[in-house]
Amino acid sequence: MDEEDIVTKYILEVKDLTKEFPGVIALDNVSLHVKLGEIHAVIGENGAGKSTLMKILSGVYPYGTYKGRVIIDGSERHFRNVRESEEAGVAIIYQELALANNLSIAENIYLGTSKGSKYGIINWDQKNHEASEWIRYVGLEEQPSTIVMDLGVGKQQLVEIAKALSKKAKILILDEPTAALTENEVEHLANILRDLKKKGITSIFISHKIQEVLKISDTVTVIRDGKTINTLSNYELNEKGIISMMVGRDFSHRFPERKYQKTDQLIMEVKNWKLAKPKSLDKYVFKDINFKLYRGEILGITGLMGAGRTELVNSLFGVYGGETSGEIYVCGQKVMIKTPEDAIRRGIGLLTEDRKRFGLNLSGSIRSNISLASIAKFSKYGYINENKEIRECEKYVDSLKIKMTSLDNLITKLSGGNQQKVILARWLMVNPTILLVDEPTRGIDVGAKYEIYILMDALLKNGIGIVMVTSELPEALSMSDRVLIMREGRLVKEFDNNNLTEEIIMKYATGSD
């Protein structure tokens, strides 16, 4: 295919797409033009309408529930369901992968198709053979019979891509594909997408991570408040420009300046802290952990995935499988923390990494989610004074600027950033001295991130010390007073945050020091 063709031919066109939900306009005359064989990023804040757009393209919202036109390969399509969009060559790979974990790669690839079977009986040799071609196509070296559960997230994603390609997908839509990937995996994914591009497969990928978008994509469409703001091609792309389009205003810093500084008052000390794996005491999840936390500081803990950071903060909060040893001192006093109850009593709060799994009660109201950890505060003899509870919740809603209409609405009605603030409110309500935060801004948009940073800074003024686990190096660098680097269950380096760079951190985190 020559250059001329690629420039002029649109494989996918979306024209004047409008989708309304009762009372809310999710998409407002959105247009999108994707050229054949390009890597096209759709970027926007949470709630901007990206997912709605993708759901229309994939037939989840059937034709008739929206206004506007979807044109694929020059002809207008009216998808009534997911199957029809798949037949037209559109494949979506969701952030939460839709693989059957306990089945093999080959089984997953052919899940839902009757290919390779005769009278309902499966010819496994043939299937495995075909699957192995697709597996190699996406750069995997695994056997088709490998169980998906045994693969890392990055490889699982490639299996999803292989599965999509096996269904003759021409347009791959990836929803936040890099959210759970390490940098190496992101790089690998980018290479695969570029490879696919050469083979004429178009990729659309949705993201908030601007730097990755810049690195990977040829074209970027920015969506805000359900409207297409702009489509930029390669040479026009720069980070600031995109951010300002996403939030509608130019802001030169993604991080606020820290206002409150660390004091010399020690509030927590961890000595020789170790977590042994259950049933094998000589193997450890982490060991020889020693650190101090001072009032008014943010202590960043960073490192690669699997370095043991989440396990460390969870163990300090009384959640662990296995056997701990070592000592924890809170405000000079040696403490035993066996359960979250103990931790909360000692003034420790934990904002968990996985909001949906460990944080939110998705069938509960905003109110019950905020007051979850401190309900005893509003109760006498087990009877809840609801009015007091509501008052107190309202205070936090105001001070954290949680956007909502009623405390009694379901938590699921809030955006990711606001849900995160709800959990933050939950922990502020217990009056912690020490706040452990694990990836506090994962999966929330730029604006909400900024607000979370300001909040964290404001908390320091009240004499809290924050331990912040983060994989985002700019976050660690911009927000912490000191940075600890973990690698393979050990603290390998502690830095005062002066003249520290991402390169230095990566060197220690990867062990290439």
Cβ neighbours of residue 196 under 8 Å, at least 6 residues apart?
161, 165, 172, 203
What is the sign of the dihedral through the CA atoms of 236, 241, 247 and 250?
A: negative
358 binds other proteins (CB under 8 A): yes
Q: Which residue from 193, 344, 466, 473 is in contact with other proteins, where contact means CB under 8 A?
A: 344
338 scored as a contact of other proteins (CB under 8 A):
no
Which residues, at least 6 apart from 133, have a Cβ–Cβ distance to it below 8 Å?
A: none
The window from 19-27, 28-36, 136-144, 161-169 that contacts other proteins (CB under 8 A) reads 19-27
Question: Can you say how many angstroms the Cα of residue 20 is from the centroid of all Cα atoms in its chain?
Answer: 26
Q: Is 363 in the site for other proteins (CB under 8 A)?
A: yes
Annotate 98-121 with DSSP letters as a single string: ---TTSBHHHHHTTT--TTEETTE
| 488 sits near other proteins (criterion: CB under 8 A) | no
Taking CB under 8 A as the rule, does residue 387 contact other proteins? Answer: yes
Query: By CB under 8 A, is residue 390 in contact with other proteins?
Result: yes
For the record, the structure tokens of 1 come out as: 């295919």
State the Cα–Cα distance between residues 109 and 449, nearest whole angstrom: 37
256 binds other proteins (CB under 8 A): yes
Strand positions, DSSP E, 197-343: 202-207, 219-224, 227-233, 266-277, 280-294, 298-303, 323-330, 333-335
Determine contact, residues 58/85, Cβ cutoff 8 Å: yes
- Contacts with other proteins in 293-322 (CB under 8 A)? 317, 319
Q: Which is nearer to other proteins, 174 or 459 (CB)?
A: 459
CA atoms of 281 and 275, how far apart (whole Å): 9
Helix (H) or strand (E) holding 96: none
The DSSP string of 340-391 is HHHHHHTTEEEE-S-IIIII--TTSBHHHHHSTTTGGGGEETTEE-HHHHHH
Contact status: 350 vs other proteins (CB under 8 A): yes
Assess 65 for contact with other proteins (CB under 8 A): no
Residue from 103, 122, 214, 375 in contact with other proteins (CB under 8 A): 375
**Of residues 158 and 393, the one with the C-beta less far from other proteins:** 393
Distance of closest approach, residue 480 Cβ to other proteins, in angstroms: 19
User: Which residue of 2, 3, 141, 257 would you call a contact of other proteins, by CB under 8 A?
Assistant: 257
> Dmax of the chain from CA atoms?
78
Structural tokens at position 130: 């075909």
The contact mask relative to other proteins for 23-52 (x = CB under 8 A, - = no) is xx----------------------------
Q: Which stretch binds other proteins (CB under 8 A): 213-221, 264-272, 459-467, 494-502?
A: 459-467
d(CA 283, CA 108): 33
Residue from 406, 474, 511, 513 in contact with other proteins (CB under 8 A): 406
- Our finding on whether 455 is near other proteins (CB under 8 A) is yes
Chain residues in the site for other proteins (CB under 8 A): 22-24, 225, 247-249, 251, 253, 256-257, 259, 317, 319, 339-341, 343-344, 350, 352, 357-364, 368, 372-373, 375-376, 379, 382-384, 386-388, 390-391, 395-396, 399-401, 403, 405-406, 426, 428, 431-432, 447, 450-451, 454-455, 457-459, 461-464
